[in-house]
Structure 1
Amino acid sequence: MPRGPEQEFVAPRGLLRIADCLTSDGGVALPAGVTLPSLIDRNVAHVGDTVAYRYLDFTRSDAGHAIELTWAQLGVRSRAIGAHLQRVATPADRVAILAPQGIDYIAGFFASIKAGNIAVPLFAPELPGHAERLQTALRDSRPTVVLTTAAAIDAVQSSLDKLPRAQRPRITVIDRIPDSEGDAFVPIEVDVDEISHLQYTSGSTRPPVGVEITHRAVGTNLIQMILSIDLLNRNTHGVSWLPLYHDMGLSMIGFPAVYGGHSTLMSPTAFIRRPQRWINALSDGSRRGNVVTAAPNFAYEWTAQRGRPAPGDDVDLSNVVMIIGSEPVSIEAITTFNEAFAPYGLPATAIKPSYGIAEATLFVSTTAPTAEATVVHFDRDRLAAGQAVRVAADAPYAVAQVSSGQVARSQWAAVIDPETSDELPDGYVGEMWLHGNNIGRGYWGLPDETRRTFDASLGSTLDIGSHAEGVSPGSDWLRTGDLGVYLDGELYITGRIADRITIDGLHFYPQDIETTAADASPAVRRGYVTAFSIPTDGGERLVIIAERAAGSNRADPVAALEAIRAAVPHRHGLTVHDVKILPAGAIPRTTSGKLARRACRARYLDGAWAD
């Protein structure tokens, strides 16, 4: 548990104090009327001249051009854009943001909320490979207005032309709205239990759906994150390349609003092309105070490969906190990154394996501020059967699991038997069910699925050691679809129900099979392997799709295919029905970088990679 905020953080007069968000027993409870717009108004009034957001634009120069926005300037821009929205939309209308990463995106998102609309953070149509996801979100949310920029308007118009004429929204160009329009803005009172924005899910296991995130959920989850990661310092600096339509990307612009802090942003493309840009931005922030960032597994692996400082570079990572999440956390990613950057002052406690989900606004759990990432090894067969049994790391059927730490304050996460709805004891694997004020309201336009997912009723709870203790009987719980287990006070996320492979009545975790395939041959690109089952006349059978590793394009794939076919039966007792080795980039991924196993399976069944 973090140290007391009263000793850690003294807010400038007029700003929100974290202590004011805590109950007498240390729980999280937002003061009346606290919303993102109200927090921004406080910052404008009391620290208006300080930088709120800095965007590093690398489109014209490798050195990057910094574009800064103070809190006062954000106030001006959000009033101007908000006033325009009040003229062309009504309260609770959806306003979609289809803009490139940058300052205009931030201003448009906050302005739509300030104007009383429901923001729909999406992305510019230029994002390759995700046109279908964008069209799905637009058809589902039916925005009245789309906010974009002059640079993206042609692509946006072309994308909107694909919608039925009756569903085509009005286009507003953010950077063409003059500041003077703000004079017409009419302040509105925001109900904290109304929808702030729709957070569309990544689509890794199902088509994307819009989660209704309330103002209360946003504020609660930001406070939970600040307390859990020990961000109790106004000089904590955020650094992020995560897309702003992603829930973690939004949180990285949300937490500075809580206490008038600041974040430095860049585009995902800028990071992918030169991951050292991320490291340099972290280093710059580390010299001025504490720095927090977040990324999935692949980013840490990619940066360790391609983002190491050049000889003689002055890099300081001594004050960095790094969240790793969005998929089951890989200890290899953590170890590789730590080995690469420990010489530059990266603390052993810097990387924080975490668990989050869009339906909970984002943040659920993380490791303690002073703790190092830890890994345990479970017996693979016992784990697949629903029980976590520790074994030695070199045991024949050992599978590594990284701890996701402890659940945030005023949030409950119980491990439930999904068939009976009863709580399971520690050491047993079940579905994670969540409860708290950070949970979203439901799925937009899907009342039946909302009831099934967000309004679950807990059955029996444990008499001793219940993780539901403190929740009133009859309260609603969120069914996450994630599988997890508690052991020795730590939470471990083992996979997703929808991804689990069942063959001949036995359960298998796809990530275990994917790791085996990657280990089988150096010709396989690590982190770019998917495993799934398909129906055949003989029942469900295993298929593995892998991408070629860098530098292996000329190598004969037969040896790699044979190695995978030999390794998987040896390690898992499974026969591989089919295995494909494809060029880099062939396997679909979600907009947050996760493997899109559902989409990969669909492509395979459609014959996309038929011989």
Structure 2
Amino acid sequence: MARGSRQEYIAPEGLLRIEDCLTADGAVELPPGVTLPSLIERNVAHVGDSVAYRYLDFTGSDAGRAVELTWAGLGVRLRAVAARLQSVAARGDRVAILAPQGLDYVIGFFASIKAGNIAVPLFAPELPGHAERLDTALRDSRPSVVLTTVAALQAVESFLDHLPPALRPKVLVLEHIPDSDGDGFTPVEVDVDDVSHLQYTSGSTRPPVGVEITHRAVGTNLIQMILSIDLLNRNTHGVSWLPLYHDMGLSMIGFPAVYGGHSTLMSPTAFVRRPQRWINALSDVSREGRVVTAAPNFAYEWTALRGRPAPGDDVDLANVVMIIGSEPVSMDAIAAFNEAFAPFGLPATAIKPSYGIAEATLFISTTAPTAEATVLYVDRDELEAGRAVPVSADAPSAVAQVSSGQVARSLWAAVVDPDTAGELPDGRIGEMWLHGNNIGRGYWDLPEESARTFHARLDSPLEAASHTAGVPATADWLRTGDLGFYLDGELYVTGRIADRVLVDGRTVYPQHVEATVADASPIVRRGYVAAFTVPGDDGERLVVIAERAAGTNRADTREAVDAIGAEVLRRHDLTVHDVKVLPAGAIPRTTSGKLARRACRAQYLDGAWA
């Protein structure tokens, strides 16, 4: 097979075929009984000697030590861990994975599902700055068992000691479970509408909540992703450093289960310390066939800055597909990465701006396989008023909107007036509502909020050019809380309803102010600015928190503060009440790397940076 060919690879007998997951009219519909455990069992039976997951361990060497797990080896470990879980937990009990990135994490996640439990992918307590999120998730999900590793055991036990006795789960160490335990495994009949796992939201605009993801939602979303990104060539593999407790990180270990392929994993810390490790891993797999990866804005910016190979390095990115899924996607990040890595074969079409949320399992839309990332400039004032009006890039009020492409097959996305529940025409900004089999079942133990969010009813679809065609009038819709619009067949995400701020009588998107702040002074670290409002005697007041750029620690901030205030006033006609310029790392971020504006505002009000 020619290198980079997109002709479908002939599957070994017995593996799932993508065409078996499509109806006669091309809609995504899983065959009966298809779940992650059943897919893994197929792979164990038919491609057992093939590598399933490879972990690059950089803890002891800059070169990295590759640890591999075949499908057969994975099958042995899953039976053993699942059998042990069956001996200490009842079916439907939650099993939390509190472990570092690595193959044991993969085993723990899949084994929890295989045992008939509900997996709760979390993280080891040593993750800096996220103890409150972990505590919230544990108290909410109430796991009966925690799976961890030898390396994390002490930290896990110390953390669990702070829970009330009634909530303290039993702790199992994955390495201490022998393969022979698998002899006691009892097969479990799993219904596709049973809950596979709880995916906790990032907490960027509210405390984290657990989304109930069913087996049907998992399988449907993986097929949608494979079709949308054109991963039909079975000689496609993954490379990922994304945390395995994150929805995209889980998808990167999920899609090889569909194919019987493999993913190469590394830790987020290994990537951050030396981003060229990501590039080298992509290059290595690119030589074998197609390779897919995913990351948020900051990773592309960081890699373009610190991860460039040396001239003459043997790096080949010709077969790479790169998902960028931040909200909103930064065209500057894409341009910087393309400029840095085009000399190493990176196609102009490689980077795929995409949109996804935990409530939809993950994937919602992406750009076409043969399309380059595109940006549309719209008038900022019109955007704030709810209309997308294109302008030239050099217009004084122009703001960039990166296209998120087309919605996945068998998923409907309507732009809706959140107050009237009526569908809005193309070019109007509204809340995006979703309908499809990839949508989660609801929020764990929150029936009223689940009803409001997952079971909304669309009152008045458009009579012409509706994006709801084919959906029954009585169907449930998911309210995403995200704002966006359609234009010329493309979907654009403009921001979150909860993030918008009301200041000086206007509703403002904070990311527009944040971009202006980054442009105002070289002291500001681009992408590390948070804008929000706080109450004052004369109404809401605008506050800006900005981190210092590298190499500016000794620079006087007074000039930068004045420049920021002046530029925000000039571009937005808004008065900045307060500006804080802080060291790198000061602004709280979610576990997926998003700005945590809610937490940042809370810290400011608590006087953290007085």
Same fold (TM over 0.5): yes
Tell me whether 302-311 or 355-364 shows the greater mean CA deviation.
302-311
Q: 1:360, 1:439 within 8 Å by CA — same for their partners in 2?
A: yes
Q: 1:10, 1:17 within 8 Å by CA — same for their partners in 2?
A: no
Q: 1:202, 1:592 within 8 Å by CA — same for their partners in 2?
A: yes
Task: Report the number of matched residues.
Answer: 606
Equivalent residues in 2 for 1:221-300 (5 A)? 221-300=221-300
Partner residue in 2 for 1:53: 53
Partner residue in 2 for 1:322: 322
Q: Which amino acid aligns with 1:500?
A: R
Partner residue in 1 for 2:595: 595
SS at match of 2:67: strand
Taking a change above 3 Å as real, the CA distance of residues 340 and 185 of structure 1, as seen in their structure-2 partners, is same
Partner residue in 2 for 1:156: 156
Partner residue in 1 for 2:333: 333
Equivalent residues in 2 for 1:345-384 (5 A)? 345-384=345-384
Partner residue in 1 for 2:415: 415
TM-score (norm 1): 0.98
Partner residue in 2 for 1:552: 552
Partner residue in 2 for 1:18: 18
- The reply on whether 1:392 has 2:413 as its aligned counterpart is no
Q: Which amino acid aligns with 2:89?
A: A
Equivalent residues in 2 for 1:408-557 (5 A)? 408-557=408-557
Per-residue deviation, 1:503: 1.4
Per-residue deviation, 1:6: 12
Q: 1:374, 1:402 within 8 Å by CA — same for their partners in 2?
A: yes
Per-residue deviation, 1:361: 0.1
Per-residue deviation, 1:534: 1.1
TM-score (norm 2): 0.99
Q: Which amino acid aligns with 2:206?
A: R
Q: Which amino acid aligns with 1:417?
A: D
Q: For 2:321 and 2:342, locate their aligned partners in 1 and report how far apart those are by CA, in whole Å.
A: 13
Per-residue deviation, 1:7: 6.3
SS at match of 1:134: helix
Q: 1:6, 1:19 within 8 Å by CA — same for their partners in 2?
A: no
Q: Which amino acid aligns with 2:349?
A: T
Tell me whether 345-354 or 230-239 shows the greater mean CA deviation.
230-239
Q: Which amino acid aligns with 1:281?
A: A
Per-residue deviation, 1:566: 0.4
Partner residue in 2 for 1:196: 196
Q: Which amino acid aligns with 2:510?
A: P
Partner residue in 2 for 1:30: 30
Partner residue in 1 for 2:580: 580
Runs of 5+ consecutive residues of structure 1 not aligned to the other structure: none
Q: For 1:75 and 1:484, locate their aligned partners in 2 and report how far apart those are by CA, in whole Å.
A: 43
SS at match of 2:422: coil
Equivalent residues in 2 for 1:129-208 (5 A)? 129-208=129-208
Q: Which amino acid aligns with 1:325?
A: G
Q: 2:9, 2:235 within 8 Å by CA — same for their partners in 1?
A: no
SS at match of 2:474: coil
Per-residue deviation, 1:537: 1.4
Deviations 1:21-42 (A, max 9, x none): 0011111000000000000000
Deviations 1:131-173 (A, max 9, x none): 0100000000000000000111000000100100110000000
SS at match of 1:431: strand
SS at match of 2:175: helix
Runs of 5+ consecutive residues of structure 2 not aligned to the other structure: none
Q: For 2:196 and 2:410, locate their aligned partners in 1 and report how far apart those are by CA, in whole Å.
A: 21
Taking a change above 3 Å as real, the CA distance of residues 458 and 210 of structure 1, as seen in their structure-2 partners, is same
Q: For 2:105 and 2:326, locate their aligned partners in 1 and report how far apart those are by CA, in whole Å.
A: 23
Q: For 2:591 and 2:436, locate their aligned partners in 1 and report how far apart those are by CA, in whole Å.
A: 27
- The reply on whether 1:108 has 2:108 as its aligned counterpart is yes
Q: Which amino acid aligns with 1:526?
A: R
Q: For 2:88 and 2:6, locate their aligned partners in 1 and report how far apart those are by CA, in whole Å.
A: 44
Q: CA RMSD in A?
A: 1.0
Q: For 1:565 and 1:554, locate their aligned partners in 2 and report how far apart those are by CA, in whole Å.
A: 21
Q: For 2:429 and 2:544, locate their aligned partners in 1 and report how far apart those are by CA, in whole Å.
A: 25
Deviations 1:77-132 (A, max 9, x none): 00000000000001000000000100000001000000000000000111000001
Per-residue deviation, 1:234: 1.6
Per-residue deviation, 1:507: 1.3
SS at match of 1:562: helix
Deviations 1:44-93 (A, max 9, x none): 00000000000000000000000000000000000000000000001000
SS at match of 1:591: coil
Q: 1:197, 1:213 within 8 Å by CA — same for their partners in 2?
A: yes
> Percent of counterpart pairs with the same letter?
79
Q: 2:6, 2:233 within 8 Å by CA — same for their partners in 1?
A: no
Q: Which amino acid aligns with 2:591?
A: T
